Homo-oligomer: A and B are copies of this chain.
Amino acid sequence: MPGWSKTWTFFFMFVLMEKLIKDSKAASEYLSHISLDCAVFCFQGGQLKVLLLKSRKRQQWMLPGGFVRQDEDVKDAAHRALKERSGAQKVFLQEFAVFGSPARTKGNKDLFDAHAWLGQRFISIGFYALVNYLSVTLVADHLSEACEWCSVDHLPEMALDHKDILNQALESLRQHLNFKPIGYNLLQEEFTMPELQRLYETILGKKLHRGNFARKILSFNILEKLEEPRKGGAHKSPNLYRFNHENYKAALENGFQQMFN
């Protein structure tokens, strides 16, 4: 087409591309090939739990995830995805790994065949999130029929490589226990010593000695004991503590030098 100027070629292209873009809102709204998956943890009933969605189409459990808008920070995208799913804002979010094998989303076309855009290859950025069980209201998205907390000790079968992602999130959680404000974000603002100990025991996967645990964690001066104990339990009212933000933050900067192993 020697008579066509470059300008005309581009003009036509844009007219046609606009139509394509309207067909697929996602293609213009989000960066292609990039997704994120979140392992959202809470601590409830003495158990570490993770938020799972059940896909409507295939009855498989999945981690909540999302995509990154054209001009959005990746971490903001994760916050947005999380807010939609749990109503929770200002959640503690930590990136822990990238899942970049081209094979990992081969099953996508099947899983999401109603949406062509979802059939592409995705490189997924893995985050773990820590939320307070009480401050959260679960909301299933339109692709999901259920949205539940599931104990990490009894995980169901999961779609794609999501079980793998979750296991790596758990491993990172363990390694970060002395470096990130994990206790602070998983517990309520006010908590008892047995609750804190059970959290540590659950994440580390082993029993800790009661007396020594309290002695050690108190020696860091990161806890403040409150005046009033928690009333209403079946037994002795336990003391309540909360974190001293300043000292906690300062202690994490260096990482707790061998806190608990």
Residues of B within 8 A of A70 (CB): 121
Q: How far is the CA of A77 from the CA of B123 in the complex (A)?
A: 13
Q: How far is the CA of A258 from the CA of B34 in the complex (A)?
A: 37
> Per a CB cutoff under 8 Å, which of B73, B175, B257, B261 touches A102?
B73
Residues 110-148 of chain A: 1 if any B CB is under 8 Å from the residue's CB, otherwise 0? 000000000001010100000000000000000000000
Q: How far is the CA of A34 from the CA of B32 in the complex (A)?
A: 10
Residues of B within 8 A of A87 (CB): none
Residues 1-18 of chain A: 1 if any B CB is under 8 Å from the residue's CB, otherwise 0? 000000001001100110
The reply on A68 being an interface residue by CB < 8 A is: yes
The reply on A101 being an interface residue by CB < 8 A is: yes
Residues 29-69 of chain A: 1 if any B CB is under 8 Å from the residue's CB, otherwise 0? 00111100000000000000000000000000000000010
Residues 90-108 of chain A: 1 if any B CB is under 8 Å from the residue's CB, otherwise 0? 0000010110111000000
Q: Nearest Cβ in chain B — how far from A78, in angstroms?
A: 9
Residues of B within 8 A of A73 (CB): 100-102
Q: Nearest Cβ in chain B — how far from A107, in angstroms?
A: 16
Q: How far is the CA of A126 from the CA of B258 in the complex (A)?
A: 28
Residues of B within 8 A of A179 (CB): 175
B9 touching A68 by the CB < 8 A rule?
Answer: no
Residues of B within 8 A of A16 (CB): 9, 12-13, 16
The reply on A150 being an interface residue by CB < 8 A is: no
What are 5 sample pairs from A and B whose C-beta atoms fall under 8 A apart?
A31-B32, A31-B123, A32-B32, A74-B101, A75-B100
Task: Enumerate the 7 nearest inter-chain pairs by beta-carbon distance, A residue then B residue, closest first.
Answer: A74-B100, A13-B16, A31-B33, A71-B102, A73-B101, A258-B258, A98-B125
